[in-house]
Amino acid sequence: MYKSKSPYEPLFVVDGQQRLTTLTLLLAAVRDDLDALGHKGLATGVQQLIERPDINNQTQYVLQTESSYPFLQEHIQKYGPPELSKSLGPEEEALKAAYEFLRNQIQSTLTGIEADQTLTESKKADAKKGKLLTIRDKALRLQLILIELTNEDDAYLIFETLNTRGKDLTVSDLVKNHLARLTKPTNKGVDATREKWNTILDLFAASTAEIDINRFLHHYGIVWPGCHHEPITLSFTDETDRWRSAAVGVGGDLSADQGLERDGCRGRGRARLASQPCCLY
């Protein structure tokens, strides 16, 4: 995680977003089932793990995100009916499916307790409450490794280094990470780099052709003029270095942000071309 020098600024998650999001979804599911069983005090207690006041006593969510706003905040993190309508894109659909999966798993456990003929109604109620609290407590006992850095470049470097020890990062993972490191947001509330990158991914996902973003970047790095410069660092694969040279404009005059904007436009054109039956990408 990257932490700014201000003690009141939030931690910026470089790696671990999916784990923290899954934990938030699980707590929200437990909260909603406690509420459904009439344990509103306990449900409110769980909500305080999801939403709490800051130093200025302004309520905010512990896990903050931009790309899935306002669905995650209004329809999952919020305790109570949403005030905003939901617009479901691919990311929101994934969040909705994950939340419903966790809710169904909990409901299956509670249904098993309800079906136990050896228990009285009062004991069933106590058993359901106890099961939900057990799930809550187990979630809170999860142990996470926190690496907190005040240098953002170091945070991204550690992200790349740690991930190369497990499942290999894809070319798109490394390119996204590299661009995020080069194009710092001018406003902490808007991450333009992430939005532009997600727009590119959406174009490939919406294409009728079977275009894989990693394969696209591989060939793009090979054919784009100027891509045969020396790699900037040795921590990336040769394939990523080729794309990096093309996207960032090594030996040219493009900034990382301009390269991302340009490649988004080219991605739209290539996605349309590859969608035509007569075209071979």
- Residue ranges of domains in the chain: 17-140, 152-274
From the number of C-beta atoms within 10 Å of its C-beta (0-12, 13-18, 19+), residue 237 rates as: middle
pLDDT in tens, the chain (281 residues): 667 777 677 777 777 788 899 999 999 999 999 999 999 999 999 999 999 998 889 999 999 887 788 899 999 999 999 998 877 888 899 999 999 999 999 999 999 999 999 999 999 999 999 999 999 999 999 988 777 777 767 666 666 665 555 556 677 877 877 777 777 666 656 677 777 888 888 888 777 777 788 888 877 776 655 544 444 333 344 444 544 444 444 444 445 555 555 555 555 554 444 444 333 33
The one-letter amino acid at 124: K
Q: What was the pLDDT predicted at 181?
A: 72
Q: What was the pLDDT predicted at 208?
A: 77
Tens digit of pLDDT for each residue in 131-180?
999 999 999 999 887 777 777 676 666 666 655 555 566 778 778 777 77
Distances (CA, A) of 24 to 40, 77, 81, 117: 18, 8, 18, 34
Count of CB atoms within 10 A of residue 12's CB?
A: 16
Q: What was the pLDDT predicted at 72?
A: 92
